[in-house]
Amino acid sequence: MSEISPLHDRYLELIDQIVQLTLKGNIRSKEQVYQMLLQEAEPGTGEEFEQCLRDRFTTTQKQADDRTNEAKQARATRSLRALQTIQGEWNRWQTQNRSREAIVTALHQITQAESAQRLLAFLKFTDPNNPQNLTSDQLKQLAATLRQQSISDPATKEDMGQLAEGISRGLDSWRNLQDHLVSWIYDPDQLGFEGSSGQSNPWASWAKQPIGAVPKSLFQALHQQQSGSDWAANQTEMTLAAWVELAIVLQAIEHGLVSWAENLVYNSKAGAKLSITIFLTFGVIWSQLANGFSRSTSLNSLNRDRYTEASFRITLQGLRVFSQRDYFPLYGTVFASFTGGYFRNAMSYLSEPLKQAEGTQEKARILTLLGSAQRVQGTLDLAKEMHSAAREIAQEAGDRPCEIANLNHLSRIAVTEKAYAEAISYSQRALILSRQSGDRMGEANALANLGYGEVFQAQQLESAPEVYEAAISYLEQGLDLSEKLGDGQSKALCYTSLGSAYVILGEPEKALKFLESGIRLSEFSGDLYIQAINLAHFAEAFYQLENYDKAVLSGSLAMYKLEQLGSNDWKQTAGLLTILQGRLGDSFQTVLQGQRPSILEAIGVDGYDYLSELLDRYRTSG
């Protein structure tokens, strides 16, 4: 026989007592039942209580089914209703008890942590990856409990008070922002975070709301396109309460925006695109804040170190959530989401928090994203390091799509380095693995990369035109598969690669048809890098056709956009414009001036004025 718990008889007695009081009319509300449970039930003994309740339900149900004694049957029926009330209030007690236990656990770990680790201990309980993360109501209760603690150490007492104040202020600021979370959006396709002062963006809207001074200041800085890094570095005073308030507000905004975007039922693709933008935007902001706090000269060493480490921790938390989404972008680049000046160096900051992560599938996916950004920026050694590490981790974790994606990224890096045999080898391996595993997206990208590598190798070897036929065949297969998948980015890459192939073959008219499709699809998918590369190939095609007006227009836009994205590919287009300048002589400026309206429409006055500076920089760089 199994041993009966010491609480068994006690809980049976409690249940019977509540039933009897109910039958006598002495219990008139559910709250009375709840209060009795609150006084008598002990945390961690749920199984014992529920077993007793089931026993009483079974016994009473049998009595209620017995038709031989109407009086007993009637009493049993009333007892069943009382037991149902107990069940409901027990469920309430369980919920409240779990909440109390979570708060007690958080309180213990925060108060016991060393001063330098106290903020990280708190962030464990706001981490969306933690199943035991605290709700807003629980955070409110935690703040109240922190204020009530009797602590003798003055520094610890000060930290507890600051944490409590920051939590309360953060929840208040978020409450005032909630109704304005997406009110600034008129067209979901316009969602962006870096518009000029005249454009619709959330920062200005949120800064107008009655929120704390620190989040208001950050939103105003972001609205003016000041980097989060510079803003953080220039904070002369930043209390623990102010940092916690900012953390709660930013995390709540990110979660709210992602939830809103993911529930765009009318257009799931648009929702996924918006969600990617949101995750990346807040990842960049937090990593910029970490960078800024780390170089602050105004903060004391304790605050500088803990704000830096805590900001990196939140960066990693957000990226971990992102990496688990089905729409996580294994291909393409993150430049689809950012167009402002303060983005330029931000992606390099994002590599920092990964030093704190274990070799997991999540890390592989995050490294894949970061590596693609580094490739476009031209930091190829770092990009290779990230993609190689991501490939190994993905292989160990059994994440075959991620492994294939990194082979494809390594192939594209090899093309950039003019190591075409290596590029072809990577893409061939990606093609084999993708076909073995049924990864159609990986196969489409592998075909595009294989064709791309074959085109450039043929050009390097000055091969005969017929050698290009195999490369073009791969690209056409990739294009066909991409069309079947409805994969806009892969289609854009195939069209761009086909256009490039025909430019190399000296068939500019045919090249332009593919490039037009490529730029249209890249605009639709939001891939700014592919858009810019298409413009660069346009310039080459128009140059071959001796249509110098359009060559200057396309080349100018390509050079500017690539440089703004941080890609070294701008120099190749600058070289073409320099050749055009030498061929046209003084009339080059006349041609450029003639294209001024179109250039202004695309990149504005500042962009137009910057073109001459870029050309001068190219010439002086040798």
Q: Does position 173 have pLDDT exceeding 90, yes or no? A: yes
Out of 170-174, 323-327, 509-513, pick the least confident: 323-327
CA–CA gap between residue 88 and residue 85 (Å, rounded): 5
CA–CA gap between residue 290 and residue 412 (Å, rounded): 31
Determine contact, residues 389/370, Cβ cutoff 8 Å: no
CA–CA gap between residue 247 and residue 244 (Å, rounded): 5
User: Mean pLDDT across the chain, nearest whole number?
Assistant: 84
Record the tokens describing residue 485, joined without a space.
Answer: 């998948």
One domain for residues 259 and 298 = yes
One domain for residues 117 and 103 = no
Give the pLDDT confidence score for residue 42 in this predicted structure.
77
Q: Which pLDDT tens digit goes with each residue over 543-558?
A: 999 999 999 999 999 9
Share of the chain above pLDDT 70, in %: 89
Give the pLDDT confidence score for residue 126 in this predicted structure.
93
pLDDT band at 490 (very low <50, low <70, confident <90, very high): confident
One domain for residues 285 and 193 = yes
One domain for residues 149 and 292 = yes
Instruction: Residue 256: name the closest of 206, 189, 190 by CA.
Output: 206
One domain for residues 46 and 185 = no
* Residue 80 covered by a domain: yes
Average pLDDT over residues 565-575: 85
Q: Is 103 helix (H, G, I), strand (E, B) or coil?
A: helix
Higher pLDDT, 526 or 606: 606
Structural domains of the chain, count: 2
Give the pLDDT confidence score for residue 520 in this predicted structure.
85
Residue 217, Cβ density class (10 Å: 0-12 exposed, 13-18 middle, ≥19 buried): middle
* Residue 202 covered by a domain: yes
One domain for residues 118 and 165 = yes
CA–CA gap between residue 590 and residue 284 (Å, rounded): 41
Q: How far apart are the first and last CA of the chain?
A: 90
CA 98 from chain center: how many Å?
A: 30
Out of 441-445, 502-506, 548-552, pick the least confident: 502-506
Q: Does the reported pTM lie above 0.95?
A: no
Q: Which of 291, 307, 323 is the last residue of a domain?
A: 323
The domain of 280 spans 113-323
pLDDT band at 409 (very low <50, low <70, confident <90, very high): very high
Q: Is 378 left (phi over 0), alpha (psi -120 to 50) or beta?
A: left
Q: What angle, 0 to 180 degrees and rounded to 10, lies between the N-to-C axes of helices 154-177 and 136-148?
A: 150
Cβ-count burial 133-146 (b if 16+ within 10 Å, e if not)? bbeeebbebbbebb
* Residue 137 covered by a domain: yes
Q: Does position 2 have pLDDT exceeding 70, yes or no? A: no
CA 102 from chain center: how many Å?
A: 27
pLDDT band at 9 (very low <50, low <70, confident <90, very high): confident
Out of 180-189, 212-221, 364-373, 385-394, pick the least confident: 180-189
Give the pLDDT confidence score for residue 7 in this predicted structure.
80
One domain for residues 89 and 125 = no
One domain for residues 90 and 150 = no
One domain for residues 151 and 300 = yes
Average pLDDT over residues 188-198: 45
- Among 59-73, 370-384, 590-604, the range with the most confident prediction by mean pLDDT is 590-604
Q: Which of 323, 353, 381 is the last residue of a domain?
A: 323
Q: Does position 400 have pLDDT exceeding 90, yes or no? A: yes
* Residue 360 covered by a domain: no
Higher pLDDT, 175 or 344: 175
Q: Does position 353 have pLDDT exceeding 70, yes or no? A: no
Q: Does position 103 have pLDDT exceeding 80, yes or no? A: yes
One domain for residues 138 and 40 = no
One domain for residues 94 and 137 = no
* Residue 232 covered by a domain: yes
Q: Is 363 helix (H, G, I), strand (E, B) or coil?
A: helix
Q: Does position 566 have pLDDT exceeding 90, yes or no? A: no
Give the pLDDT confidence score for residue 426 in this predicted structure.
97
Q: Does position 186 have pLDDT exceeding 60, yes or no? A: no
Q: Does position 234 have pLDDT exceeding 90, yes or no? A: yes
Q: Which of 323, 346, 372 is the last residue of a domain?
A: 323
Give the pLDDT confidence score for residue 258 in this predicted structure.
92
Higher pLDDT, 60 or 101: 60
pLDDT band at 446 (very low <50, low <70, confident <90, very high): very high
Average pLDDT over residues 5-9: 76
Determine contact, residues 12/52, Cβ cutoff 8 Å: yes
One domain for residues 233 and 287 = yes
* Residue 432 covered by a domain: no
Q: Does position 567 have pLDDT exceeding 60, yes or no? A: yes
Give the pLDDT confidence score for residue 372 in this predicted structure.
81
* Residue 245 covered by a domain: yes
Q: Which pLDDT tens digit goes with each residue over 36-86?
A: 887 888 766 778 888 888 988 898 898 888 888 888 888 888 888 989 988
Out of 190-194, 399-403, 468-472, pick the least confident: 190-194
Q: Does position 347 have pLDDT exceeding 60, yes or no? A: no
Q: Which pLDDT tens digit goes with each residue over 194-207?
A: 444 444 578 988 99
Give the pLDDT confidence score for residue 196 in this predicted structure.
41
